[in-house]
Structure 1
């Protein structure tokens, strides 16, 4: 006569196995759903930089708490320049991503570019007096001739911020939170003399600032990538950030309605600084991507 306990135990084993299999399947599905494989991949340096156009608006002046920063150059052309220490001065501008003449970035890079908002603060820095040859990277400006530029004194530090607490997705934040640009005066002031139509790309300003025409005139600054002491840039982000060189041109445009925003610092080194209020008034400059001395970003 069979032992009922053994029989019950034997029948229970397949049921337990089925339950365990179901739990494993659910866990595996949850892992796949949350897997990094579903995250947006970082773009290649060349397409990201080539479509990074920033329109710079004058803001009401704001002086952040006393902050000293040590900066070192990231781009290979300027990597031999020594680090320097600067003090963060008055905020002067907010530079925001735009599309030119209806030419939008490719979708895979647009997801990153639309969150590149840089607040620019006055600094006083060294004058490298380094001669450079600048060439345009954006496809729309390929007919603009190469031109010489002498790198003069550092005038601004532009750092990443979020507007109205709209924080980029984590994979986007990995890149944009480390884009710090030191803007140097350049001479001669090459004249582009070209009309362009600009439209906003960042979600906060789409609908607030209408598409408008600008007249691009003279180059005033070259903004080059730097790293702040204490900022641990992930290698995959560093491979992109080191190629972000923007030549800032003066622009003339129609009067635009002022827009008031809150700005929150994204870079870890400046995360302790308070949230700022900024009112954008006139659009004064346009930053367009360039290559220095023929060194084109990879990819």
Structure 2
């Protein structure tokens, strides 16, 4: 073999590999999800997501503070309300755990970025992401409620609103409502490409958000489609989205790459609960090296084009990066 063709020369040592590394994972890329519940002094591990906790608003402040101390710049907040009804009215109740947690976190940590997930599934008695007409989710009547939820979260201190419902037109409705309410500087991170995925199972346990009947395939995307994803991104950008998201991340890296190549917008991915829990389960059995698997997985998301990674591994990754 010719001595001129030796790619291995650039793999010869850790120092050389670092010098020529094309993709770098940094703690500043990470967003840490928090699940808040009613009450005080509650920190209860979620059985299907080892290492992730239900937190009362006061304890969510402590968790956010720990994340921020590790260099994680942002948290995204989900919540289990005290009450549920057909329209999900607790979603915009300023006394709900999400709004309380946001207010407390921003008061204690003004520099941390607080992202509010906007959807109704956690708050409706039927578990669907919008108002029902019969057994169908009605798109247009849901938009006003999503907008009310977004404004309430902005009032509570959210820096970014992240609608995950997949109703058509919700970005424009939320953008108009925020502007009209004096929150024109609050950004929108759109779950523009959200697939009807089996990888959400542990999250639905954590957020008590499983639908009481049917499924979400009439509004979340068909996993078989990629061209449709590009149309969804185009529409959300046209309606005023500031950041685009693809969810799930790991089995949709081809979609992440297509979005990155086509759109010059900040791009987020969600390393979802099913991806997380499978890693934790295999690691608990000793079948995999958890640290190596997690780091390789998140690097693949960066390599595919993601700027922002929402991940339940964020705290561990931040510690591992400090060790390097």
The TM tier, using the shorter chain, reads: under 0.3
> Which structure: larger Rg?
1
Quick check: which one's strand share is greater?
A: 1
Point out which structure has higher relative CO (alpha carbons under 8 A, 6+ apart).
1
Q: Give me the TM-score of the superposition, normalised by structure 1.
A: 0.26
Q: Give me the TM-score of the superposition, normalised by structure 2.
A: 0.25
